[in-house]
Structure 1
Amino acid sequence: MADTSRRTLRLLSLLAARHQWSLSELAARLGVSERTARRDIETLRELDYPVTTVRGRDGGYRLGAGHTLPPLLLDDDQALAIAVALQTAPGTVFGLADDAARALDTLTQMMPARVRASMEALRLTRLRNHWEFPAPPIDPGAVAAVGGAVRHRHVLAIETLRPDGTRPSPGDDDFAPARRIEPHHLVVWAARWYLVAYDLTDDTWRVHRVDRLRPRATTQPFTARELPGDDVARFVMTDHDRGDTLAVWEYTGSARLDLPARVVARWAPGGSVVEHLDAGHCRLTLGAWSWAGIAGILATFDTDLTEVQPPELVDACRRLADRWATVTHDSGSA
């Protein structure tokens, strides 16, 4: 009965989001047979929703005039905020783009004319610029499993995946056995999803990339622990060992920085890797659209650099240094 009710609400949402649907389209979206979809349409009619049958070769079903959806009480600013969020958030999770677009269409239809005009004006065209460091979208099932375990305070069993999503086999150098953790916080930062958890294997707080996990829910409850420092955002941003992997770029390079890993991890761009060397030094590996781009990002840390690799990056640093020297000389002459 619960599945039928959820499916009926989804059918109502589909009908409200588009002018007309064919029976085959509705059945495909609902993941059921055409016979079941037709039965769900009759259920809506029994609930006094005017679902109209359109005859002919291009026929189908549409929601008639005068229908009412369950009330949604939002002020103008809230509606606009949701409109922006629906257009900008789905890229981090597989399969949400179509659902978000459908939700936006439904929301737009329900809003008063003045708000609808503002929402239409906020239809965004998303472009990737050179300063974005995107992460691959993750499985919504993993997000749901982790989020549910955080919410219900249930222990999770996790297996660690490779960056390509495969699971190492026993005997592989990178194989690690499944671990049991207490999931406390689900955090989104720099377009990446992180799980802050207490590892029961070695009694240590850790930060995990959710897209690198294969979670399995349990019903074993746990009692919430106090996070070190009591600041989840700082804990994630300053942890250099949070499972980050190098993003795919045309150019990648690295350097040894005279700064602690926790400092560099907080300010390094998404898709870079910070390696702890000692209390005052770390290695940063990152990518960009050019060697000069990498050199410029390294310069933002305002610290001494050594062990710069590869030679092309060294040449780019030298060229930038010459340009900056010219700027300094010209300014001094003035």
Structure 2
Amino acid sequence: MLETSARLLELLSLLQVKRDWTSSELSDRLDVSTRTVRTDIGKLRSLGYPVDARPGVMGGYRLGAGTTMPPLLLDGDEAVAVAVGLGAVATRRLGVEETSLTALAKLEQVLPSHLRRRVEAVREATSAVPSADPPLDLAALGAVATAIRGHERFRFGYTKRDGGEGARHVEPQRLVSWGPLWYLLAWDLDRDDWRVFRVDRMTPHAPTGARFRPRMIPEDLVVEHVVERVSTAAWKYRARLLVHASAAEFAAKVVPIPVDIEVVDESTCLVEMGSDDPHLLALWLTQFDVDIEVIEGDELAVAFGRLATRFRRAAGNASAT
């Protein structure tokens, strides 16, 4: 039979790996009476662990969420995974580098030597490319998520693409992660329409406390709506192209960027797309290995001409073979 302190650690470990335990299941695993289980549960509660109890014949125990976070019990593999993960986060521009390093220092202070060596081995065997991603404001992200979960109207300051400042009042619907950025899909109360906002450009105001009934939008359309708004609504420059490939073939090449594709025949299609810069659009289109004719968009045609000159110059004498 385990000593009391060891038994408490074993009990805590069991509660952390399974959602619900009956009193008899715990007594069997710990080789003690159900009365001792109740006593040990009381000791865990006195240490700050919020253990919920369900009464009745089939009643039992569950580790719940508390107002403060109690110590977390990790096995060796879990401790190594957390340490490696914190180290990886600390090397990226996510806005939580300092917090990650503080948590990592606390964890490494109590890691046994053999686990510390495993963490060091992983670090020495891996490399990371520095990221230029914008920092992630966890406070803003948390405020948005809380408003969505509570169906609460949300006010925030917003920095536009041109640098202008404004205030928004919305009914937040869903958060969508795309690459390094987070976007909020919300019903804009001032504009009476759906809008998409970048979370890193938001400054949350105090909670409004005003509840709302969520508007119905199919889950499978949420991401599609955000991608479409982000990709196409922000275009400063648009062009119309004749693409010598089937509509299905070209659509597969440009996924997930939404473009307007019109079927001409089995081997050609008309495409409307855009960008902030005609040169960047021309450069991007060269990677698809299809013949393209510019129907509308003189700036794009000029950009293709400049690229052609550069490509010929880069090819040198190879162009004659």
Which band: TM-score by shorter chain? Answer: 0.5 to 0.7
SS where residue 135 of structure 2 aligns? coil
The counterpart of 2:226, out of the listed 236, 254, 269, is 236
Which residue matches 2:174? 185
The counterpart of 2:285, out of the listed 274, 298, 301, is 298
CA contact (8 A) 1:182 1:200 kept: yes
The counterpart of 2:129, out of the listed 127, 130, 133, is 127
Give the deviation of 1:277 after TM superposition. Answer: 11
CA contact (8 A) 1:255 1:305 kept: no
Which residue matches 2:214? 224
Give the deviation of 1:210 after TM superposition. Answer: 1.1
Structure 1 unmatched ranges of 5 or more: 1-46, 48-68, 169-177, 247-253, 269-273
Provide, for residues 231-265 of structure 1, a one-character-per-residue CA deviation record: whole Å limited to 9, x for no partner: 5444433433688799xxxxxxx7736499x9999
Over aligned residue pairs, what C-alpha RMSD do you find?
4.7
Give the deviation of 1:125 after TM superposition. Answer: 5.3
More off after superposition, 113-122 vs 300-309: 300-309
Which residue matches 2:274? 283
Summarize the Cα distance change of 1:120–1:318 in structure 2 as closer, same or farther, 3 Å threshold. same
CA contact (8 A) 1:256 1:305 kept: no
Which residue matches 1:71? 71
Matched, 1:315 2:306: yes
Q: Which has the higher contact order (CA 8 A, sep 6+)?
A: 1
More off after superposition, 98-107 vs 118-127: 118-127
Structure 2 CA distance, aligned partners of 1:257 and 1:84?
48
Structure 1 CA distance, aligned partners of 2:216 and 2:78?
33
Q: Percent identity?
A: 29
Structure 2 CA distance, aligned partners of 1:321 and 1:153?
58
CA contact (8 A) 2:282 2:303 kept: no
Provide, for residues 158-213 of structure 1, a one-character-per-residue CA deviation record: whole Å limited to 9, x for no partner: 33313486526xxxxxxxxx332121222332111211222233443332111222
SS where residue 300 of structure 1 aligns? helix
Read off the aligned partner of 2:98 and give its amino acid letter: D
Structure 2 CA distance, aligned partners of 1:97 and 1:275?
37
Which residue matches 2:165? 167
Q: Count the aligned residue pairs.
A: 232
CA contact (8 A) 2:183 2:197 kept: yes
Moved over 6 A (4+): 242-246, 262-265, 274-279, 321-324, 326-330
Equivalences for 1:1-334 in 2 at 5 Å?
71-89=71-89, 91-94=92-95, 96-123=96-123, 126-128=128-130, 134-163=132-161, 167=165, 178-216=167-205, 217-230=207-220, 232-240=222-230, 256=239, 258=241, 267=256, 280-285=271-276, 296-301=283-288, 304=292, 306=294, 307=297, 308-309=299-300, 314-320=305-311
Structure 1 CA distance, aligned partners of 2:232 and 2:184?
9
SS where residue 207 of structure 1 aligns? strand
CA contact (8 A) 1:155 1:183 kept: yes
Structure 2 CA distance, aligned partners of 1:223 and 1:297?
42
CA contact (8 A) 1:161 1:167 kept: yes
CA contact (8 A) 1:229 1:235 kept: no
Structure 2 unmatched ranges of 5 or more: 1-46, 48-68, 263-269
CA contact (8 A) 1:143 1:210 kept: yes
Provide, for residues 53-105 of structure 1, a one-character-per-residue CA deviation record: whole Å limited to 9, x for no partner: xxxxxxxxxxxxxxxx95323355544443444344464544x2111111122
Structure 1 CA distance, aligned partners of 2:140 and 2:252?
30
Which residue matches 2:54? none
Provide, for residues 120-144 of structure 1, a one-character-per-residue CA deviation record: whole Å limited to 9, x for no partner: 233365433xxx7x43225444223
Read off the aligned partner of 1:209 and give its amino acid letter: R
Read off the aligned partner of 1:227 and give its amino acid letter: I
Read off the aligned partner of 1:314 and give its amino acid letter: G
Summarize the Cα distance change of 1:163–1:211 in structure 2 as closer, same or farther, 3 Å threshold. farther
CA contact (8 A) 2:160 2:201 kept: yes
Summarize the Cα distance change of 1:198–1:276 in structure 2 as closer, same or farther, 3 Å threshold. farther
Summarize the Cα distance change of 1:302–1:231 in structure 2 as closer, same or farther, 3 Å threshold. farther
TM-score (norm 2): 0.53
